[in-house]
Amino acid sequence: MTKKERALHVDEKLAELYPDPPIPLDHFDAYSLLVAVLLSAQCTDARVNQITPDLWRLADNPSDMARVPVERIRDVIRPCGLSPRKSQAIRDLSRILVDEYGGAVPEGFEKLEALPGVGHKTASVVMSQAFGHPAFPVDTHIHRLAQRWGLSSGKNVVQTEADLKRLFPRERWNELHLQIIFYGREHCTARGCDGTVCPMCRELYPGRKKAVVTRK
């Protein structure tokens, strides 16, 4: 298969397997999604979903959260890891949202990425899942699968994102990145597949014998 043929096969197969993929992080508006994605750094979505209800009982909007002491936020989110940095970011970004945006989450990459604790991947998730703008958030898992499937040889997630955007139609980006995530969790895990085990890897590379080592 050529790269374009592999991309078409992935697109069609994932659309068949996951026709309506849900957003993995529980949320009720753009703010709760922003905070949940921030918390998901080096933490599973399942763990974040366990913790956020307690956080929303503490404060569920920027105005209230901006008044909560950082120590109280840190106590709630501690199981997510990196709690000192994340708690400070949550309080600080909440204050900025109140002071500069009237308590609303801004609808723009540059404004989002200027917020404390918010990088390009987090901004991409919010832009795609909260506001419906075409984006292709790439985390380490999508980065790994893109290499196993021969869709990118990028040395980092930035290059992988650019490669995937070139390969897939713009109107498929938002849904496809979720479908890749779900497939990766179910079939092509970091330890459960090495590029030769899961159905997709075998279909794309039936003659592959060696494991694929992910380029970081």
Q: Which residues participate in catalysis according to the annotation?
A: 121, 139
In a 13 Å sphere around the CA of 2, the CA atoms on its Cβ side amount to 3
- Per DSSP, the three-state class of 29 is coil
Contact 64, 71 (CB under 8 A): no
CA angle in degrees (0–180, nearest 5) for 208-211-216 = 125
- Per DSSP, the three-state class of 87 is helix
Is 166 exposed, middle or buried (CB count within 10 Å of its CB: 0-12, 13-18, 19+)? exposed
d(CA 32, CA 41): 15
d(CA 59, CA 160): 36
Amino acid at 121: K
Amino acid at 76: V
Nearest residue to 129 (alpha-carbon basis) of 183, 177, 62? 177
